[in-house]
Structure 1
Amino acid sequence: MLHLRVISPPELTDDVLGLLDDAVGVTNLVVLPGAARSPKGDLIQLDIAREAANEVIERLQQLGLCAEGSIAAEQVDLSISDAADRAEEEAPGEGDDAVVWAEFARKVGDDSRLTWAFLAFLTIATQIAAIGVIVNSPILIVGAMVLGPEFGAIAAVCFGLLRRDPQLIGRALRTLAIGFVAAITITFACALALRGLGWIGPSSLNGHKEIEFIVKPDRWSFIVALLAGAAGVLSVTAGKSSALVGVFISVTTVPAAGYFALAAALTLWGDVAASVTQLGVNIAGMVIAGTLTLTVQKAYWSRFGVRLPARRPRGSGHR
């Protein structure tokens, strides 16, 4: 269940209420005329089943509320109401399976932006992965996987491909490219310093059978990336953060970047090439599977038609 807060200019409120009164999945509708001050207008609050939210939000946008008013949504963690239960039963499908596209678009849009936090987390994760390689510690490798923030940008690429939005795709790819280049460069510099101090050398990567999967990309690497990409998109659209942690642990993007930086500092060019291949295989597999998963979800939900009224002329006297 989602809670929507709508600020509507008075001249649009009749149209908004005409839409909401007849829409499936809407309950707990409250109207406070003239309550909103910035922007000015009528305050309308309601709860709506997730599986019915897309068409209602899209119709509200078509009414012009994005420009002349406001639409905000938040998750309802607890709702004790027979009316809310009936609204969810009337809406098609299951709430846990529903994709609220406006919510997903905002999330991946934010995740596709290059920020200092993204660079810091990716750099720290890459350095932890490199240390995990040096000390032959699978635990550190797993920790680096979980810490890496790159999946948000990968999901943005998938959504951009679904929507055929070259601007979103370009921004997300730019974030990934700059992020990994910065993380690898800083980790490479640190590895050179450690080599200069005599802490590591070419022999430091010998006998590490527990983590050699990082530099051995094969068909299984691609299959795991496909599965992780599908699971990652499902976890984001369903809001299942615990499942997303499992996705992070499944793919070796950050460990491959860490191994790349370390191998380059030790001039082990064979391992450098293998690390680059592993990184590319993982990202490509996740993008392919994530895009296909979004396509299937969109096709699935397009089968359900939520009953909405025809657009009414302004000033229809609904109130």
Structure 2
Amino acid sequence: MLHLRVICPAEYTDRVLAGVQAHPGAAHVVLVRGGAVDPPGDLVEVDLAREAADEVLAAIGASELAEVGAVTITEAGTTLSHRAERAEEAAPGDGDDAVVWDELIARTGEECRLSGTFLAFLSIACVLAAVGVVTNSPVTIVGAMVVGPEFGPLAALAVGLVSRRWLLAQRAAVALGVGFPVAMLVTAAAALLGEWGGLIDRLGLPPDSQVAFVYQVGWSSLIVSLLAGAAGMLSLTSAKSAVLVGVFISVTTVPAAGYAMVAATLGDWAQCLSSVAQLLVNLVGIVVAATGVLVLRRRRARAGDRVLTREEL
């Protein structure tokens, strides 16, 4: 279940109540007249089956309410209620298959902002990945994959393209377009420092390295990135966040970016270009697959709406 809280001026309250109470997937409607102080207005709270959220948000005019008040969606947590169980059973569809678009847009929008924290995490991840490649340590590579924050902007780019939120797509593209070059420059500086201090062998990696997959681009790279992008977007749209960890450790965006700079400082331009190609393949593959998942889920939802309309008629 999801918990919906609406703060709205008094003149909007009746519309909100009508939109909420008309849907069978709603339960536990609470109204507090004059309960909001800033902005002033009424407070309406309700528990919703996940598959009902999109329809209820459209019915109450959530976009308009966001301008004059506030609309908050959170996980309801453990709810012991027969009424809630009936609401989940009555709501059409399955909760795991439901996409709450307003929630998805807001969530990815928060994770794609270009900030000092984003740049710091991406830089640390790239340097950590470079260390993993240089020391021939797969475990360190996995750690770098988990630390890297790049999936947020990649997911936001896909969401922006499908929902035609061009500002969201532009913000995500800027985060990626600025973030990776900055992180790679930081990694290059760290690599030069490591070479100066004798921590990096100027002869490069041995041919039997366990982490050669970082810079060896091929069809497998594209296939893995497509699968990771699809799994990541399914995780975001179905609220199964645990799956994201597996996504993080399956793609080589950060490791490829990190080692490209190490190879460049060593003068190994073949491996540098191969690493950059690996990075681009992974970025494009993730966005394409994530976009495809969203398009399919949107079409499926619309098809379900048409079927429901025919049944009702």
- TM-score class, shorter-chain normalisation, is over 0.9
What residue is the counterpart of 2:199 in the other structure? 199
* Residues 1-319 of structure 1 aligned to structure 2 (within 5 Å): 1-61=1-61, 64-305=64-305
Q: Aligned in 2, Cα 1:170/1:64: closer, same or farther, shift over 3 Å?
A: closer
Q: Secondary structure of 2:27's match?
A: strand
TM-score of the superposed pair, with normalisation by structure 1? 0.93
Deviation larger for 237-246 or 130-139? 237-246
- Verify the 8 A CA contact 2:62 2:71 in the aligned structure 1: no
Aligned mates of 2:149, 2:34 — CA distance in 1: 43
Aligned mates of 2:167, 2:12 — CA distance in 1: 32
* 2:57 alignment partner AA: I
- Verify the 8 A CA contact 2:185 2:261 in the aligned structure 1: yes
* 2:121 alignment partner AA: F
Partner deviation per Cα, 1:256-294 (whole Å, 9 max, x = no partner): 011101101111100110001000000011111000000
Unaligned segments of structure 2, at least 5 residues: none
Partner deviation per Cα, 1:210-258 (whole Å, 9 max, x = no partner): 1111111101110111000000101111222221010011100000011
- Verify the 8 A CA contact 1:192 1:265 in the aligned structure 2: yes
User: Shift in Å at residue 10 of structure 1?
Assistant: 1.5
TM-score of the superposed pair, with normalisation by structure 2? 0.94
Q: Secondary structure of 1:32's match?
A: strand
* 2:35 alignment partner AA: A
Aligned mates of 2:161, 2:69 — CA distance in 1: 30
User: Shift in Å at residue 59 of structure 1?
Assistant: 2.4
Aligned mates of 1:170, 1:42 — CA distance in 2: 36
Aligned mates of 1:35, 1:58 — CA distance in 2: 23
- Verify the 8 A CA contact 1:12 1:63 in the aligned structure 2: no
User: Shift in Å at residue 144 of structure 1?
Assistant: 0.5
Aligned mates of 2:20, 2:163 — CA distance in 1: 27
Aligned mates of 1:282, 1:141 — CA distance in 2: 16
- Verify the 8 A CA contact 1:7 1:71 in the aligned structure 2: yes
- Verify the 8 A CA contact 1:54 1:100 in the aligned structure 2: yes
Aligned mates of 2:100, 2:66 — CA distance in 1: 17
User: Shift in Å at residue 77 of structure 1?
Assistant: 1.2
Aligned mates of 1:153, 1:283 — CA distance in 2: 10
Aligned mates of 1:232, 1:240 — CA distance in 2: 9
Aligned mates of 2:20, 2:111 — CA distance in 1: 31
Aligned mates of 1:62, 1:176 — CA distance in 2: 30
Aligned mates of 1:271, 1:292 — CA distance in 2: 31
Aligned mates of 1:231, 1:173 — CA distance in 2: 21
Partner deviation per Cα, 1:172-226 (whole Å, 9 max, x = no partner): 1110121111111011011111212222233241234311111111011101110
Q: Aligned in 2, Cα 1:264/1:40: closer, same or farther, shift over 3 Å?
A: same
- Verify the 8 A CA contact 1:256 1:276 in the aligned structure 2: yes
- Verify the 8 A CA contact 2:235 2:243 in the aligned structure 1: yes
- Verify the 8 A CA contact 2:160 2:166 in the aligned structure 1: yes
* 2:43 alignment partner AA: L
Aligned mates of 1:246, 1:154 — CA distance in 2: 16
- Verify the 8 A CA contact 1:50 1:100 in the aligned structure 2: yes
Aligned mates of 1:217, 1:204 — CA distance in 2: 18
- Verify the 8 A CA contact 2:153 2:176 in the aligned structure 1: yes
* 1:191 alignment partner AA: A
Question: Which is bigger in relative contact order (C-alpha 8 A, separation at least 6)?
Answer: 1
Q: Secondary structure of 2:304's match?
A: coil
Deviation larger for 195-204 or 293-302? 195-204
How many residues are paired up? 308
Q: Secondary structure of 1:31's match?
A: strand
* 1:301 alignment partner AA: A
**Identity among equivalent pairs (%):** 46
